[in-house]
Protein backbone atom coordinates (compact mmCIF):
# COMPACT_ATOMS: atom_id res chain seq x y z
CA UNK A 1 0.00 0.00 0.00
CA UNK A 2 1.04 3.60 -0.48
CA UNK A 3 1.68 5.71 2.60
CA UNK A 4 -0.59 8.58 1.61
CA UNK A 5 -3.42 6.13 0.98
CA UNK A 6 -2.88 4.55 4.39
CA UNK A 7 -2.86 7.95 6.08
CA UNK A 8 -6.02 8.98 4.22
CA UNK A 9 -7.69 5.82 5.50
CA UNK A 10 -6.73 6.80 9.05
CA UNK A 11 -8.13 10.33 8.90
CA UNK A 12 -11.84 9.48 9.45
CA UNK A 13 -11.00 7.68 12.69
CA UNK A 14 -8.96 10.50 14.25
CA UNK A 15 -11.07 12.37 16.78
CA UNK A 16 -10.90 16.10 17.17
CA UNK A 17 -9.24 15.78 20.58
CA UNK A 18 -6.70 13.12 19.59
CA UNK A 19 -3.04 14.06 19.61
CA UNK A 20 -1.12 12.95 16.51
CA UNK A 21 2.67 12.75 16.83
CA UNK A 22 4.38 12.38 13.47
CA UNK A 23 7.95 12.14 12.28
CA UNK A 24 9.78 12.98 9.06
CA UNK A 25 8.05 11.98 5.81
CA UNK A 26 5.03 10.58 7.61
CA UNK A 27 4.77 13.98 9.27
CA UNK A 28 5.06 15.91 6.04
CA UNK A 29 2.43 13.71 4.41
CA UNK A 30 0.13 13.97 7.43
CA UNK A 31 0.43 17.75 7.62
CA UNK A 32 -0.58 18.03 3.97
CA UNK A 33 -3.43 15.55 4.30
CA UNK A 34 -4.83 16.51 7.70
CA UNK A 35 -3.57 19.82 9.08
CA UNK A 36 -4.81 20.38 12.64
CA UNK A 37 -3.57 22.12 15.76
CA UNK A 38 -3.22 18.91 17.75
CA UNK A 39 -0.59 17.61 15.36
CA UNK A 40 2.64 17.37 17.39
CA UNK A 41 5.56 17.77 15.04
CA UNK A 42 8.51 18.97 17.16
CA UNK A 43 10.11 15.61 17.89
CA UNK A 44 13.72 16.52 17.27
CA UNK A 45 15.55 13.67 15.61
CA UNK A 46 17.13 10.31 16.35
CA UNK A 47 13.92 8.34 16.62
CA UNK A 48 12.25 10.25 19.42
CA UNK A 49 8.66 10.47 18.14
CA UNK A 50 7.35 7.54 20.15
CA UNK A 51 9.02 8.83 23.31
CA UNK A 52 7.27 12.17 22.86
CA UNK A 53 4.10 10.19 22.31
CA UNK A 54 4.58 8.35 25.58
CA UNK A 55 5.12 11.59 27.49
CA UNK A 56 1.97 13.05 25.98
CA UNK A 57 -0.01 9.88 26.67
CA UNK A 58 1.03 9.76 30.33
CA UNK A 59 0.35 13.45 30.87
CA UNK A 60 -2.96 13.44 28.99
CA UNK A 61 -4.73 10.21 29.96
CA UNK A 62 -8.09 11.48 28.70
CA UNK A 63 -6.83 11.77 25.11
CA UNK A 64 -5.72 9.20 22.57
CA UNK A 65 -2.19 9.70 21.29
CA UNK A 66 -1.49 8.40 17.79
CA UNK A 67 2.17 8.13 16.81
CA UNK A 68 3.08 8.02 13.13
CA UNK A 69 6.61 6.69 13.38
CA UNK A 70 9.20 5.80 10.77
CA UNK A 71 11.07 2.52 10.63
CA UNK A 72 14.49 4.17 10.43
CA UNK A 73 13.49 6.33 13.37
CA UNK A 74 12.33 3.37 15.42
CA UNK A 75 15.62 1.59 14.82
CA UNK A 76 17.41 4.52 16.44
CA UNK A 77 15.32 4.18 19.60
CA UNK A 78 14.37 0.51 19.90
CA UNK A 79 14.28 0.61 23.69
CA UNK A 80 11.18 2.77 23.36
CA UNK A 81 9.16 -0.35 22.58
CA UNK A 82 10.00 -1.83 25.97
CA UNK A 83 9.54 1.49 27.77
CA UNK A 84 6.11 2.04 26.22
CA UNK A 85 4.96 -1.49 26.89
CA UNK A 86 6.17 -1.31 30.49
CA UNK A 87 4.49 2.06 31.05
CA UNK A 88 1.21 0.51 29.95
CA UNK A 89 -0.10 3.63 28.27
CA UNK A 90 -3.59 2.50 27.35
CA UNK A 91 -4.17 5.60 25.22
CA UNK A 92 -1.14 5.17 22.94
CA UNK A 93 -1.42 3.94 19.34
CA UNK A 94 1.90 3.42 17.59
CA UNK A 95 1.70 3.26 13.79
CA UNK A 96 4.90 2.50 11.90
CA UNK A 97 5.54 3.48 8.30
CA UNK A 98 7.74 0.56 7.32
CA UNK A 99 9.12 1.41 3.92
CA UNK A 100 12.52 -0.06 4.73
CA UNK A 101 14.54 3.00 3.74
CA UNK A 102 15.80 6.22 5.33
CA UNK A 103 13.51 8.13 3.02
CA UNK A 104 14.41 11.72 3.86
CA UNK A 105 18.11 10.92 3.86
CA UNK A 106 18.44 9.74 0.29
CA UNK A 107 16.33 6.57 0.55
CA UNK A 108 19.31 4.58 1.72
CA UNK A 109 18.27 1.07 2.86
CA UNK A 110 17.82 0.24 6.52
CA UNK A 111 20.24 -2.31 7.91
CA UNK A 112 18.46 -5.63 7.64
CA UNK A 113 15.85 -4.00 5.43
CA UNK A 114 14.66 -7.27 3.93
CA UNK A 115 14.55 -9.17 7.21
CA UNK A 116 13.60 -6.96 10.15
CA UNK A 117 10.19 -7.79 11.63
CA UNK A 118 9.03 -4.71 13.51
CA UNK A 119 5.72 -6.24 14.57
CA UNK A 120 7.57 -9.15 16.15
CA UNK A 121 9.74 -6.68 18.06
CA UNK A 122 6.69 -4.85 19.43
CA UNK A 123 5.05 -8.14 20.36
CA UNK A 124 8.18 -9.30 22.15
CA UNK A 125 8.37 -5.98 23.97
CA UNK A 126 4.91 -6.51 25.39
CA UNK A 127 2.52 -4.22 23.52
CA UNK A 128 -1.13 -4.95 24.26
CA UNK A 129 -1.87 -5.48 20.58
CA UNK A 130 0.29 -5.86 17.49
CA UNK A 131 -0.72 -6.03 13.84
CA UNK A 132 1.02 -5.93 10.49
CA UNK A 133 -0.60 -4.93 7.21
CA UNK A 134 0.57 -5.04 3.62
CA UNK A 135 -2.79 -4.36 1.94
CA UNK A 136 -4.73 -1.12 2.21
CA UNK A 137 -8.13 -2.79 2.34
CA UNK A 138 -7.26 -5.00 5.29
CA UNK A 139 -5.62 -2.08 7.06
CA UNK A 140 -8.69 0.11 6.55
CA UNK A 141 -11.06 -2.55 7.82
CA UNK A 142 -8.98 -3.12 10.95
CA UNK A 143 -8.58 0.51 11.96
CA UNK A 144 -11.78 0.97 13.99
CA UNK A 145 -10.99 -2.03 16.15
CA UNK A 146 -7.34 -1.05 16.60
CA UNK A 147 -8.28 2.44 17.74
CA UNK A 148 -11.02 1.23 20.08
CA UNK A 149 -8.77 -1.28 21.81
CA UNK A 150 -6.78 -0.45 24.92
CA UNK A 151 -3.21 0.46 24.17
CA UNK A 152 -0.43 0.38 23.70
CA UNK A 153 -1.25 -0.86 20.22
CA UNK A 154 1.34 -1.28 17.48
CA UNK A 155 0.55 -1.35 13.76
CA UNK A 156 3.27 -1.96 11.22
CA UNK A 157 2.20 -0.52 7.88
CA UNK A 158 4.31 -2.24 5.25
CA UNK A 159 4.21 0.37 2.52
CA UNK A 160 5.89 2.37 -0.18
CA UNK A 161 6.06 6.12 -0.54
CA UNK A 162 3.05 7.70 -2.18
CA UNK A 163 2.69 11.19 -3.56
CA UNK A 164 5.70 13.42 -2.80
CA UNK A 165 4.44 15.87 -0.20
CA UNK A 166 6.67 18.88 0.50
CA UNK A 167 9.23 18.64 3.28
CA UNK A 168 8.64 21.77 5.33
CA UNK A 169 11.38 21.42 7.93
CA UNK A 170 11.11 25.08 8.88
CA UNK A 171 7.54 24.56 10.05
CA UNK A 172 8.05 21.41 12.08
CA UNK A 173 10.91 23.03 13.99
CA UNK A 174 9.12 26.38 14.37
CA UNK A 175 7.93 28.07 17.53
CA UNK A 176 4.63 28.57 15.72
CA UNK A 177 4.04 24.82 15.49
CA UNK A 178 4.77 24.33 19.18
CA UNK A 179 2.63 27.28 20.22
CA UNK A 180 -0.33 26.14 18.14
CA UNK A 181 -0.13 22.71 19.70
CA UNK A 182 0.21 24.01 23.25
CA UNK A 183 -2.73 26.37 22.87
CA UNK A 184 -4.92 23.66 21.39
CA UNK A 185 -3.95 21.19 24.11
CA UNK A 186 -4.80 23.60 26.90
CA UNK A 187 -7.88 25.13 25.29
CA UNK A 188 -10.40 23.07 27.22
CA UNK B 1 30.00 3.58 34.22
CA UNK B 2 33.28 5.42 33.90
CA UNK B 3 36.69 4.62 35.26
CA UNK B 4 36.64 5.59 38.92
CA UNK B 5 39.64 6.90 40.81
CA UNK B 6 40.49 4.72 43.76
CA UNK B 7 39.73 6.52 47.04
CA UNK B 8 42.76 7.06 49.20
CA UNK B 9 42.83 6.38 52.93
CA UNK B 10 43.78 9.95 53.69
CA UNK B 11 40.88 11.46 51.74
CA UNK B 12 38.92 13.81 54.00
CA UNK B 13 35.58 12.59 55.33
CA UNK B 14 32.78 14.81 54.12
CA UNK B 15 29.07 15.15 54.81
CA UNK B 16 26.61 13.99 52.19
CA UNK B 17 23.31 15.56 51.16
CA UNK B 18 20.00 14.19 52.35
CA UNK B 19 18.01 12.10 49.91
CA UNK B 20 14.88 12.72 51.92
CA UNK B 21 15.46 16.47 51.67
CA UNK B 22 15.98 16.27 47.90
CA UNK B 23 12.77 14.27 47.52
CA UNK B 24 10.89 16.77 49.67
CA UNK B 25 12.27 19.59 47.53
CA UNK B 26 11.17 17.87 44.32
CA UNK B 27 7.67 17.53 45.75
CA UNK B 28 7.67 21.13 46.87
CA UNK B 29 8.26 22.13 43.26
CA UNK B 30 5.10 20.34 42.18
CA UNK B 31 6.82 17.44 40.48
CA UNK B 32 4.87 14.19 40.40
CA UNK B 33 6.55 12.44 37.49
CA UNK B 34 9.98 10.81 37.75
CA UNK B 35 11.55 9.40 34.60
CA UNK B 36 14.69 7.44 35.30
CA UNK B 37 17.53 5.15 34.54
CA UNK B 38 19.37 3.84 37.56
CA UNK B 39 22.61 5.43 38.67
CA UNK B 40 24.80 4.09 41.45
CA UNK B 41 25.29 7.53 43.04
CA UNK B 42 21.56 8.13 43.51
CA UNK B 43 20.21 4.58 43.63
CA UNK B 44 19.94 4.06 47.39
CA UNK B 45 19.31 7.63 48.48
CA UNK B 46 16.90 8.75 45.77
CA UNK B 47 15.63 6.27 43.22
CA UNK B 48 14.73 3.41 45.56
CA UNK B 49 12.83 5.72 47.95
CA UNK B 50 11.12 7.42 44.99
CA UNK B 51 10.09 4.05 43.59
CA UNK B 52 8.23 3.35 46.84
CA UNK B 53 6.70 6.81 47.21
CA UNK B 54 3.02 7.00 46.18
CA UNK B 55 3.34 10.72 45.48
CA UNK B 56 5.39 9.91 42.38
CA UNK B 57 4.74 8.02 39.18
CA UNK B 58 8.04 6.45 38.17
CA UNK B 59 8.58 5.70 34.49
CA UNK B 60 11.61 3.51 33.97
CA UNK B 61 13.24 4.03 30.60
CA UNK B 62 15.79 2.14 28.52
CA UNK B 63 17.92 5.08 27.37
CA UNK B 64 18.33 8.61 28.58
CA UNK B 65 17.30 10.46 25.42
CA UNK B 66 13.89 8.82 25.70
CA UNK B 67 13.54 10.61 29.00
CA UNK B 68 14.41 13.99 27.54
CA UNK B 69 11.57 13.56 25.06
CA UNK B 70 9.11 12.19 27.61
CA UNK B 71 9.71 15.06 30.04
CA UNK B 72 9.63 17.68 27.29
CA UNK B 73 6.35 16.36 25.93
CA UNK B 74 4.81 16.20 29.40
CA UNK B 75 5.51 19.89 29.90
CA UNK B 76 3.05 21.01 27.21
CA UNK B 77 0.13 20.81 29.62
CA UNK B 78 2.19 21.93 32.60
CA UNK B 79 3.01 18.48 33.94
CA UNK B 80 6.29 18.67 35.85
CA UNK B 81 8.85 15.90 35.71
CA UNK B 82 12.40 15.16 36.80
CA UNK B 83 14.68 12.96 34.71
CA UNK B 84 17.27 10.97 36.65
CA UNK B 85 20.42 9.49 35.15
CA UNK B 86 24.19 9.22 35.41
CA UNK B 87 26.63 11.56 33.70
CA UNK B 88 27.39 8.93 31.08
CA UNK B 89 23.73 9.09 30.04
CA UNK B 90 23.84 12.86 30.11
CA UNK B 91 26.71 12.83 27.64
CA UNK B 92 24.83 10.35 25.48
CA UNK B 93 21.74 12.61 25.47
CA UNK B 94 23.31 15.91 24.54
CA UNK B 95 21.74 16.02 21.09
CA UNK B 96 18.29 15.39 22.53
CA UNK B 97 18.85 18.11 25.13
CA UNK B 98 20.05 20.44 22.38
CA UNK B 99 17.01 19.78 20.21
CA UNK B 100 14.23 19.44 22.75
CA UNK B 101 15.46 21.52 25.63
CA UNK B 102 17.28 24.32 23.83
CA UNK B 103 15.97 24.57 20.25
CA UNK B 104 12.39 23.80 21.27
CA UNK B 105 12.67 25.72 24.54
CA UNK B 106 11.21 23.06 26.82
CA UNK B 107 11.75 22.73 30.58
CA UNK B 108 13.59 19.43 30.94
CA UNK B 109 14.87 19.11 34.53
CA UNK B 110 17.55 16.51 35.14
CA UNK B 111 19.25 15.05 38.22
CA UNK B 112 22.57 13.54 37.27
CA UNK B 113 24.74 11.41 39.52
CA UNK B 114 28.45 11.99 39.03
CA UNK B 115 29.69 8.43 39.17
CA UNK B 116 33.39 8.24 39.89
CA UNK B 117 33.73 11.67 41.45
CA UNK B 118 35.79 11.86 44.61
CA UNK B 119 33.44 13.11 47.37
CA UNK B 120 35.85 15.65 48.80
CA UNK B 121 36.65 17.63 45.63
CA UNK B 122 34.70 19.52 43.02
CA UNK B 123 33.83 17.84 39.72
CA UNK B 124 36.21 19.97 37.70
CA UNK B 125 39.12 18.72 39.86
CA UNK B 126 38.27 15.04 39.60
CA UNK B 127 40.89 12.60 38.41
CA UNK B 128 38.15 11.09 36.27
CA UNK B 129 38.07 12.62 32.78
CA UNK B 130 34.40 11.63 32.42
CA UNK B 131 33.55 13.67 35.51
CA UNK B 132 35.94 16.55 34.94
CA UNK B 133 34.47 17.52 31.59
CA UNK B 134 30.83 17.67 32.65
CA UNK B 135 30.54 21.29 33.77
CA UNK B 136 32.68 22.65 30.91
CA UNK B 137 30.51 20.77 28.43
CA UNK B 138 27.32 22.13 29.97
CA UNK B 139 28.81 25.63 30.02
CA UNK B 140 29.75 25.32 26.35
CA UNK B 141 26.12 24.47 25.59
CA UNK B 142 24.97 27.30 27.85
CA UNK B 143 22.87 24.90 29.90
CA UNK B 144 21.80 25.91 33.38
CA UNK B 145 23.24 23.64 36.06
CA UNK B 146 23.91 23.52 39.79
CA UNK B 147 25.67 21.23 42.23
CA UNK B 148 24.19 19.18 45.06
CA UNK B 149 27.07 18.05 47.26
CA UNK B 150 26.63 19.15 50.83
CA UNK B 151 23.80 19.17 53.33
CA UNK B 152 21.86 22.34 52.58
CA UNK B 153 22.44 22.20 48.84
CA UNK B 154 19.00 20.60 48.58
CA UNK B 155 17.41 23.92 49.49
CA UNK B 156 17.83 25.46 46.04
CA UNK B 157 16.04 22.63 44.25
CA UNK B 158 12.47 24.03 44.31
CA UNK B 159 13.50 27.45 43.04
CA UNK B 160 15.66 26.01 40.28
CA UNK B 161 12.76 23.84 39.10
CA UNK B 162 10.39 26.80 39.27
CA UNK B 163 12.78 28.87 37.19
CA UNK B 164 13.22 26.11 34.61
CA UNK B 165 9.47 25.87 34.07
CA UNK B 166 8.94 29.62 34.19
CA UNK B 167 11.63 30.23 31.57
CA UNK B 168 10.87 26.99 29.68
CA UNK B 169 14.48 25.88 29.64
CA UNK B 170 16.47 22.89 30.90
CA UNK B 171 18.20 22.72 34.26
CA UNK B 172 20.64 20.05 35.38
CA UNK B 173 21.32 19.19 39.01
CA UNK B 174 24.70 17.52 39.33
CA UNK B 175 24.87 15.22 42.35
CA UNK B 176 28.44 14.97 43.44
CA UNK B 177 28.07 12.89 46.59
CA UNK B 178 25.72 9.96 47.09
CA UNK B 179 22.68 11.25 49.01
CA UNK B 180 21.98 9.64 52.35
CA UNK B 181 18.60 7.92 52.36
CA UNK B 182 17.46 9.83 55.47
Nearest neighbour of A52 by CB, restricted to B57, B73, B79: B73
Asked whether the beta carbons of residue B69 and residue A42 sit closer than 8 angstroms, the reply is no
Q: What is the pLDDT of residue A126?
A: 98
Asked whether the beta carbons of residue A44 and residue B96 sit closer than 8 angstroms, the reply is yes
Chain B nearest-CA residue for A84: B61
* B51: CATH: 3.40.50.970
Query: A103 CA to chain B: closest CA distance, Å?
Result: 21
Alpha carbons B73 and A25: distance in angstroms, whole number: 21
With contacts defined as CB-CB under 8 Å, which chain B residues touch A54?
59, 66, 70, 73
CB atoms within 10 A of CB A154: 29
Mean pLDDT of all residues in B100-112: 98
The residue among A22, A41, A44 with the most chain B CBs within 10 A of its CB, best to mutate, is: A44
CB B151 within 8 A of CB B123: no
CA–CA–CA angle A115, A120, A124 (5° rounding) = 135
Q: How confident is the model at residue A162 (pLDDT cuts 50, 70, 90)?
A: confident
Residue B71 forms part of a structural domain: yes
- Tally of residues, chain B: 182
The residue among A41, A51, A171, A172 with the most chain B CBs within 10 A of its CB, best to mutate, is: A51
Query: What is the C-alpha R_g of chain A?
Result: 15
* Contact status of A124 with chain B (Cβ, < 8 Å): no
Query: B83 CA to chain A: closest CA distance, Å?
Result: 12
CB A182 within 8 A of CB A42: no
Residue B48 forms part of a structural domain: yes
Least confident residue range of A165-169, B126-130, B154-158: A165-169
Range of the domain at B156: 19-175
A32 φ/ψ sector (left φ>0, alpha ψ -120 to 50, else beta): alpha
Mean pLDDT of all residues in B40-52: 97
Q: What is the pLDDT of residue B3?
A: 61
Residue B180 forms part of a structural domain: no
Q: How confident is the model at residue B11 (pLDDT cuts 50, 70, 90)?
A: confident
Least confident residue range of A39-48, A102-111, B95-104, B148-157: A102-111
Q: What is the pLDDT of residue A46?
A: 86
Least confident residue range of A144-148, A172-176, B65-69, B72-76: A172-176
* Contact status of B73 with chain A (Cβ, < 8 Å): yes
With contacts defined as CB-CB under 8 Å, which chain A residues touch B65?
46, 48, 51, 77
Residue A187 has pLDDT above 70, yes or no: yes
DSSP state of A23: -
Mean pLDDT of all residues in B67-86: 98
Coil, helix or strand at residue A98? strand
Residue B181 forms part of a structural domain: no
Residue B13 forms part of a structural domain: no
> What average pLDDT does chain B have?
95
Q: ipTM of the assembly?
A: 0.96
Query: A138 CA to chain B: closest CA distance, Å?
Result: 32
Residue B143 forms part of a structural domain: yes
Q: Give the pLDDT confidence of B118-130 residue by residue, as tens digits.
A: 999 999 999 999 9
With contacts defined as CB-CB under 8 Å, which chain B residues touch A45?
95, 99
CB B161 within 8 A of CB B22: no
Distance from chain centroid for Cα B93:
13
Q: What is the pLDDT of residue A164?
A: 78
Q: What does the buried/exposed string (b/e) look like for B54-84 if buried means 16 or more CB atoms within 10 Å of the residue's CB?
A: eebeebbbbbbbbbbbbbbbbbbeebbbbbb
Chain B nearest-CA residue for A178: B104
Cα dihedral A86/A91/A97/A101 (nearest 10):
-30
Interface of B with A in 126-155 (CB under 8 A): none
Asked whether the beta carbons of residue A83 and residue B99 sit closer than 8 angstroms, the reply is no
The residue among B30, B63, B69, B71 with the most chain A CBs within 10 A of its CB, best to mutate, is: B69
CB A95 within 8 A of CB A68: yes
Please give the sequence-ordered ranges of beta strands (E in DSSP) within chain B, or none if there are none: 33-36, 57-60, 81-86, 109-113, 144-148, 171-175
* Contact status of B64 with chain A (Cβ, < 8 Å): no
Per the structure, how many domains does chain B have? 1
Q: What is the pLDDT of residue A24?
A: 86
CB A7 within 8 A of CB A40: no
Q: Give the pLDDT confidence of A96-127 residue by residue, as tens digits.
A: 999 988 888 888 899 998 999 999 999 999 99
pTM of the entire predicted model: 0.96
The residue among B62, B95, B108 with the most chain A CBs within 10 A of its CB, best to mutate, is: B62
Mean pLDDT of all residues in B130-145: 98
Domains of chain A: 3-185 (3.40.50.970)
Chain A nearest-CA residue for B76: A182
Amino acid sequence: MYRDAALKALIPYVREDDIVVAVYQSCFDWLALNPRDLNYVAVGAMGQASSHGLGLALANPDRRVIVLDGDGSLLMNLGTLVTIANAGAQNLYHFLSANRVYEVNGSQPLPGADRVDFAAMAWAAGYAGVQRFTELEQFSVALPQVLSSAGPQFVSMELTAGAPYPRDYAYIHSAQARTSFREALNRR
Amino acid sequence: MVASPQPTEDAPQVAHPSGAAIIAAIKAAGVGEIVALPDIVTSDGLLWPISRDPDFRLTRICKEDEGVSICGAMSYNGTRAVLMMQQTGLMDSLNAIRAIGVDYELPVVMMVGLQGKEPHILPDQSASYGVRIIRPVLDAMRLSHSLIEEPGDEDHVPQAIEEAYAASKPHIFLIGRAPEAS
